[in-house]
Chain A
Amino acid sequence: MSSSTELTEKKVFLLKSLDGVIFEVEESVAVQLEVIRELIEGDCARPFISLYNVTSEILALVIEYCKHHAETCSGGTSATIADEDLKTFDNEFMNVDENILLELCSAADYLDIKSLFELTCRTLASLIKDRTIIEVRKMFNVENDFSVVEEKAVRKEFAWAFK
C-alpha cells in the first residue's frame, strides 16, 4: 500500500470486493480494469468502487496481476525484455488450482481485463486438452446428466469425431 507521501503524488482508487474488503490501487493499475476505467472517466469512482461479483481472495490476485503488468510495461526496459518477463510471470501466475482459475476467468470477464481473460481461457483449455472425458468430468466436477442410452446416442451422432 502507498505511503502518505505517495498519496499526494499519485491518484489512488478504492475497490470494494463482494465480501467488503477494500483495496487501494494506483491509477495505472485501476485503468487496466476496463469497467473501472469507464467509472473513472465519468468521475463516478468516489468514495469507492463496489465490485459485486468478485471476492477479496480473487480481487487480490487480479490486482497483483495488473500491478505486475503495469510496472513491467512502464519499467523503461526494451519491449523484448518486458515481454519475456511478463511471460514468466504469467506462467507462474497460472500455477493455481482449477477452482481459482475458473474464478479468475469469470472475474477477468466481469472486470473486462482482456489479457487476463485470454490467459485464463487458454490455461483452462490446456487442462481439458489431452484428458479423457472422465478425467475432465472429475477435474471440474461436471455431472454426467446423460443416461447410458443418451450418451451412446451422442457418441453415435458424432461418431465421425470419435473415430
Chain B
Amino acid sequence: MVAPKIKKIVNQKQESNEDKLSSLPDCILIHILSFLDTESAIKTSVLSKRYRLLWTSLQCLDFKFHGCSVDRFLSFVNHVLERREHSNLSMFRLSLKEQVNSGFLDNCIAYAMKHKVEHLRIRAYADEHSPLTLPSLLLNSSSLRILRLNNVSCCSIMLPKSLALPGLKVLRLKNFVFSDENYNGELFLGCPNLETLILNKCSIRPDGEVKVLDVKCLNLKNLEIRHWRSPWRCFDEHMISVNAPRLCSVKFQGHIPNVDFKEDIWCLDEVCIDLYCPTACAMVDVSERRRRTSEFCMSMLHQLCEVKSLALSLNTIEILSAIPYLQVYGPSIFQNLRYIKFMAEDKHTVLTIPINTVTPLLEGNVSEITILDLDDPKEQQLLINIKRSRINVMCKDAMISIPIHVMSYILESSPSAELLIVELPKGIVGQDLRRKMFTRKSMYWHAGMQ
C-alpha cells in the first residue's frame, strides 16, 4: 500500500552535499542524541564544532557498563555529571552488574534526584554488608514518573518500608525478596497514582512473618508478574493480594504465583499467561504440581472472566490440558472475550483466523480446513486439521498443535469470540525437522498425562 511510494523516493536518492543533520535546530539534535547511550552521545563532540558541547545539554543520561574497567566507568560517570550543564533530567539510567561501592550509587541517585529526574533506572550490585539505602530525596520525590530497580545480588538495594511518590506511574522491581525487614504492607500505598506495576523474579522470604504482598493500587492499569520465585512449598501460604478495580491488563510469566483478585475487574482488556511447570525433577511430584498449577490457573481465569483478549502460551495450554474435564469449570464464563491468542516461544509468523472458520472442525463436520492466500490463490496459506486428539495449525513449514479438549473448552466458554490469533514459530525446514518437532511435542504430552 505504502511501499511503492517510498521506494520511488528512495530510487531518486538526492545527490546533494547539503549537511541536513547539522542544520537541524539544537533541540532536535539533542533529542536525537538522547536516544544514544551517553558514551556514544559524547563521542559525537568531535564531528564538527557544532557538536562539541551539544552533549552538555542532554536531558537523558544512560550509563551502561559493558567494558572492562570498572574504575574507568566510574570516572567517566563522574566526569559527565561534573561537566554537563546542570539542567533538569528527564531520564537517568545506571546499569552495573559489577560490584561497586554503595557510596557511588548513592551519589548518582542523589544527583539525578536533585535534577528532578522523571525516569530513574538503576541496576546495581553492592556489597551485601553495606547495601544501597535509597536516599530520602528519592523516597519523597514529586518529579519521579518511572522507577525501575534491579537488585543484581538480591541484597544490593534495600527496599524502603514506605515511600511517598505521588507522581509515580510505573514501578518495576527485579530480584527483590519481601520480608519483615523491608515490607510492612505500606509500600504500594505510597504510590496512589501507580498505573503499571511489574514484579520480575521477586518472592516472599520463606518462613518469615510476611505472608501476603498487598497490592492495593486503585489506579493500577497494568500488572505484570514474571518469574515469581516463592518456593512451591509456600504456594498456599504466600499470596499476592490485588485490589485494583481499574486493571486493564494482567500478565503472568513463569511459575504460577498465588494471586487473589479482591474485586471484579470490569474494564479488563487483556490477559496474557505464559506458565512454566517443571516436567522432570527429583525433588517434586511433577504430575501433582502440574495438576495444581492448572487448577489454580483455571480459578484465576475465573476471577479474570471479564477479559476481552486472552493470550495463552503453548506451555500454558499443555499445563491446562492436565485437567481432563475442563467443563466442570462451567460453560460460557468469558462473556466478553473477543480475541483468543496462542503464543509460541519462537514467534515468527502471526496468523489471524475468524473463529467461525475453526468451529466446523471442532463440531466434527469436516476433518481438515485449508485456507488459501487471497493474493496468490495457488499458494496454500494455512492448513488446520485434527490428528490424535490434537488440533494442528500449519503454515508452510511451521506448525503448532493444541489438545482438542482445551481448544473446545476455550471456544465453548467464549460465546462472543471473533478471532483466533495464532503465533507460529520460525519455519522448520524439511520433513525431518517437522517429524522431530512432532515427536518431541507428543512425548511431552504423554509425559504430562501420567
| Chain A residues at the B interface, C-beta cutoff of 8 Å | 57, 60-61, 64, 68, 77-81, 84, 89, 92-93, 95-100, 102-103, 105-106, 109, 121-122, 124-126, 128-130, 133, 136-137, 140-146, 151, 154-155, 158, 160-163
Contacts and interface: CB of A to CB of B under 8 A. Distances in A.
| Max chain A C-beta neighbours (<10 A), residue from B17, B35, B47, B341 | B47
B21 interface: yes
Interface range for B: 35 or more
Contact of B46 (A93, A133, A143): A133
Interface of B: 1-3, 5-6, 9-10, 13-14, 16-22, 24, 28, 31-37, 39-40, 42-50, 52, 72, 75-76, 79-80, 269-270, 308-309, 311, 338-339, 341, 350, 352, 419, 421
Dominant SS among interface residues on chain B: mixed
B338 to A, nearest CB: 7
A78 B47 contact: no
Given A61-B9, A146-B46, A80 B309 contact: yes
B18 A141 contact: yes
A136 to B, nearest CB: 6
A140 B5 CA distance: 23
A144 B20 CA distance: 14
Contacts of B80: 161
A105 B35 CA distance: 14
| Max chain A C-beta neighbours (<10 A), residue from B13, B48, B419 | B48
Given A79-B269, A96-B10, A141 B17 contact: yes
26 contacts: A64-B2, A80-B270, A80-B309, A81-B421, A97-B13, A99-B14, A100-B10, A102-B20, A109-B28, A121-B31, A124-B35, A125-B32, A129-B36, A129-B37, A133-B46, A133-B47, A136-B47, A140-B22, A141-B20, A142-B19, A142-B21, A151-B46, A155-B46, A160-B76, A160-B79, A161-B45
Nearest to B248: A79
Contact of B9 (A80, A100, A109, A125): A100
A122 B32 CA distance: 6
Contact of A128 (B3, B10, B44, B76): B44
Contacts of A92: 2-3, 6
